[in-house]
Structure 1
């Protein structure tokens, strides 16, 4: 099992690294990564169903450490996809939005505190209930997800482990985003720059930058770029706005 798993994990991480480099569009990159992880899990599941495990010890190790390491990547990228596609515009709305996402992570932590302690202190005294297929205890804070999962490839707590690993990564991502937002917010304290050339020159610059895809990995709407330029350079595009807004 270990050799097959290590080969699968290596191929997955290599594929993710290549996608991080090759795909320009951030949303498309995340979609491609998620698809790659799903294919990897499908391959892993087929192996487990066909080969099984040599011992209970091997089964526990797989569902406690190996499978969660891959599923956590799926949870992480899916969460980032949702965060990015729902993110509002403006520093203050973004800050509020990101802090709310952090509060969701905190609620999950609070609701699963006992299991966090068990897992992070590397306890093992009830591993045979948590990480062996077909064995579960309804009293051990089961996620509804477990009852809907394929029990041939799931235990009562392997998904919860993956969630813990993913939430740590999501928290780092959110905190980095908050730092970036705070930096951008502080930049508004800088002296104002006034655009002293023609409005047409600005509109040509906006179109050039948009066509080059220099903002948000080509995902920035030209309307947002135009509004940002108006605010930063203290200018009202006025009669040239229709050309930007496509009206």
Structure 2
């Protein structure tokens, strides 16, 4: 298995493994468990790199630009989240909100300190990839605000910062959501406005739907984890899909002609509606279609 495929495989496994640790009640135990999982994955990547190397320049660039950073970002994310939770004031909503806002300020300052490379990351630019994501390139190309001493055989000048960009964007979004919840703001209002909306179909159908949304990169330009999407859909429609990885395994084991039967049914019904769009709609059905 080449390093690109291995990094993608390990990342997918980590997402599932993290989901399985949700039931761990102790924050420190959950942190230690998840940290060990990420460290093990990184160790596997390092061993494979030492054994096989890269097939070509393109594989090296992909590995240090996307493959390794996605995994290393998980290590940064769980470490930062634990630190924020551990230092959170125990009492006082205003103090807790102030604590969360101070974290947002820190993240924003980090983005500004690394403005040039952060914009390169946001734009998904490629013109400097050869210099940023191949080993033994000079760090003097840009005055990076933060480049730690790293193993030159397993790192490049920019892969660490890309890892932090990925992690900090996710952390920034989760902190903003927590502040809104603390304030009882727009998120809470939105939730109350649609509190009666519930998923009444089979939970496995939602899992199939969310996988489709995830694989096609429809949310945040694809910069969202599968577990985050599952959590959003589950909360929005009040359905428990925490064991989605097991349900997906059931989908894979289906014996029917098509394993994606729910998505196939959706496609057929939407196509039928398009074909029937000019057809007469009975009065008692108009409300269903928004007339």
Q: TM-score, normalised by structure 1?
A: 0.69
For residues 147 and 119 of structure 2, what CA distance do their matches in structure 1 show?
21
For residues 144 and 153 of structure 2, what CA distance do their matches in structure 1 show?
17
Once the two structures are TM-superposed, the CA of residue 182 in structure 1 deviates from its matched residue by 1.4
Corresponding residue for residue 8 of structure 1: 10
Corresponding residue for residue 178 of structure 1: 179
Task: Give the direction of change, closer, same or farther, for the CA distance of 1:11–1:97 in structure 2 (3 Å limit).
Answer: same
Residue 23, structure 1, aligned to residue 19, structure 2: no
**Contact 2:8 2:67 (C-alpha < 8 Å) held by counterparts:** no
Instruction: Spell out, residue by residue over 1:87-132, the C-alpha distance to the aligned partner (whole angstroms, 9 max, x if none).
Output: 1121111111111110001101111111122122121111111000
Task: Give the direction of change, closer, same or farther, for the CA distance of 1:121–1:136 in structure 2 (3 Å limit).
Answer: same
Once the two structures are TM-superposed, the CA of residue 47 in structure 1 deviates from its matched residue by 0.7
Moved over 3 A (4+): 142-146
**Contact 1:130 1:157 (C-alpha < 8 Å) held by counterparts:** yes
Corresponding residue for residue 58 of structure 1: 59
The structure richer in helix per residue is 1
Once the two structures are TM-superposed, the CA of residue 75 in structure 1 deviates from its matched residue by 0.7
Cα RMSD (Å): 1.7
Corresponding residue for residue 134 of structure 1: 136
User: How do 1:1-247 and structure 2 match up within 5 A?
Assistant: 1=2, 2-20=4-22, 22-89=23-90, 90-142=92-144, 144-146=146-148, 148-183=149-184
For residues 143 and 39 of structure 1, what CA distance do their matches in structure 2 show?
29
Once the two structures are TM-superposed, the CA of residue 26 in structure 1 deviates from its matched residue by 3.1
**Contact 2:147 2:161 (C-alpha < 8 Å) held by counterparts:** no
Once the two structures are TM-superposed, the CA of residue 31 in structure 1 deviates from its matched residue by 2.3
Once the two structures are TM-superposed, the CA of residue 6 in structure 1 deviates from its matched residue by 2.7
- Structure 2 residues without counterparts, runs of 5 or longer: 186-291
- Structure 1 residues without counterparts, runs of 5 or longer: 185-247
Instruction: Spell out, residue by residue over 1:157-192, the C-alpha distance to the aligned partner (whole angstroms, 9 max, x if none).
Output: 0011111111111111211221222139xxxxxxxx
Q: TM-score, normalised by structure 2?
A: 0.59
Q: Which structure is larger by alpha-carbon Rg, 1 or 2?
A: 1
Corresponding residue for residue 254 of structure 2: none
For residues 102 and 24 of structure 1, what CA distance do their matches in structure 2 show?
26
**Contact 2:7 2:63 (C-alpha < 8 Å) held by counterparts:** no
Instruction: Spell out, residue by residue over 1:58-96, the C-alpha distance to the aligned partner (whole angstroms, 9 max, x if none).
Output: 100110011111011111110001001111121111111
More RCO (CA 8 Å, sep 6+): 1
Provide the aligned length of Structure 1 versus Structure 2: 182
Once the two structures are TM-superposed, the CA of residue 143 in structure 1 deviates from its matched residue by 5.1
